Amino acid sequence: MSMDLALSVARSGLRLLDRQMARTADDIANAGTEGHTRKILDGRAISANGAGLGVRTGMPVRDVDLALQDAGARAGGDVAAGELRTRLLAAVETAHGRPEDGDSIGGLLSGLRAALGTLREAPEDPMRRGAVVQAAQDLAARYNGTAAAIAAVRQQAHDALVEEAAAANRALAEIGALTIDIRREFAAGRPAADLEDRRDTAIARLAGSLDISVLRGRMGEVTVVGRGGIVLPFGVGEAFSVAPATVAPGTFHGGAGTLPGVMLNGQDITRRMVGGRFGAAAELRDLTLPRMQAEIDLSAAHTASRFAAQGLRLFTDAANTVPDVTVPYAGSAMLGFAGAIRVNPAVAADPALVRDGTNAIVALPGGPSAFVPNPAGGPAGFATLLDRLLSFTFGREAAPGAAQPPIASGGLGPDGTLVSTLSGLGTLEVHGGALVAAQAGARAAAEQGYGRAVALSELLAARSEARSGVDVDREVAVMVELQNAYTVNARVVATVQAMWDALFGAVR
């Protein structure tokens, strides 16, 4: 090997080592930077006719496991969805009160029945009559408060869709701009690893909005596909949009509904949204919360109806009416009744009516038996109504041998498409207790799912960090190795230089 060739080989080694040291220093400096991954800078041996000519320095590339990275992004989307569900459903759980304190719907129904039982022992006692009215007012207030909480959370779910559309648009715009830069660098033969790190960070943010898969090309291009085959576009302005709206108990999305959907370039994809905060918010707004609203409406409506059927219009709405519980829920007066239920003002003004009754009942086949209210000046110990209420309003039968109208479990929601798991629960107290357990338990179930998602996300993040992250101790060890190799190559250069100096000295 000639001295010129030896010097050239040593210089190529020094160039590679110089860039590798710079790469290592950069990794160490960015060890705590979000999204930064370890870079690899390799050399490729150059030879001709079997003779080594040195080493060619390559471009820095990322040391990443893309499959692990994509799995981590999807897990991050599950975390985002679980956090949203848990946070919003917590408000519904709080509105239901604490069953152990007896102030939930089921507990207050039991309290009302107990107050009526106490009054039955002394129907002439005005204090006991007042206690019944107070128990009824407490129950109506719990219905009102829980219905208001469900409505507020449903509005928050819609607002979350509006906010998420803006966040997804920002992420898509960033991904698109970075992809253009990455392709430009690839085409020019320049490194783009840092740009790819930034793009993956933006992709992870987008994965918080909805479940996505990423298809990567050889020249730095990517295609982002939502579950269900939705291809997400780059560089088209505001691709996602959700119009602001006021959510009411009777509003819904789809069909003849008035609630706006999630639009992607003018196409409604609400029913195709899966995963992330988009999927969670749409599910809450269109399925979970309308079902909860229907369940509490039915509880309130059947409570009012079963009292009125025995001769006491204890509960009414603002128009002083009681819903017909035998008609389908959608479009009926039952829709939103839990938010409107109140103690009949006539009963509140004259608590004696809880003993005497408010209206006569005509016996009909399969329905309650006949009843005539206690007339003015009638017996102070009138107990007929109280016996009817205790035996039938709170029982499974409207009269001996006549079953109560069933509490519907299908045809729910403002569009009549939802189904409840609360079926076959014949008494008001059993239905009320099951309702509270199911709706308050929804937050616990969401929190459990959130916890599992967090655990998986943390596991994948740890594996990704071990695989692609910067281990400072390892990088320092690499730096020492590079330093030793640099010293050896520099010694080669110095030796060749000394030989040249000796040669020139001999010639002179």
pLDDT tens digits along 55-92: 565 556 666 777 888 888 889 999 999 999 999 999 99
Query: What pLDDT is attached to residue 229?
Result: 82
Query: What pLDDT is attached to residue 65?
Result: 74
Identify the band that residue 400 occupies on the pLDDT scale cut at 50, 70 and 90: very high
- 72 and 35 in contact (C-beta within 8 Å)? no
pLDDT tens digits along 495-508: 666 666 666 677 66
Rounded average pLDDT over 121-147: 97
Rounded average pLDDT over 249-262: 91
Rounded average pLDDT over 264-285: 91
- 359 and 313 in contact (C-beta within 8 Å)? yes
- 120 and 386 in contact (C-beta within 8 Å)? yes
User: Of 7-21, 296-310, 411-425, where does mean pLDDT reach its minimum?
Assistant: 7-21
pLDDT score of 109 more than 90: yes
Rounded average pLDDT over 299-306: 97
Query: What pLDDT is attached to residue 217?
Result: 85
Three-class SS of 202-250: HHHHHHCCCCEEEEECCCCCEEEEECCCEEECCCCCCCEECCCCCCCCC
DSSP state for residue 272 in the 8-state scheme: G
**Which of 335, 296, 337 is CA-nearest to residue 433?**
296
| 260 three-state secondary structure | coil
- 209 and 278 in contact (C-beta within 8 Å)? yes
Q: What span, in angstroms and rounded, lies between the C-alpha atoms of 134 and 231?
A: 58
**How crowded is the C-beta side of 378, counted as CA atoms within 13 Å?**
15
- 277 and 84 in contact (C-beta within 8 Å)? yes
Identify the band that residue 234 occupies on the pLDDT scale cut at 50, 70 and 90: confident
pLDDT score of 288 more than 60: yes
Query: What pLDDT is attached to residue 12?
Result: 59
Identify the band that residue 484 occupies on the pLDDT scale cut at 50, 70 and 90: low
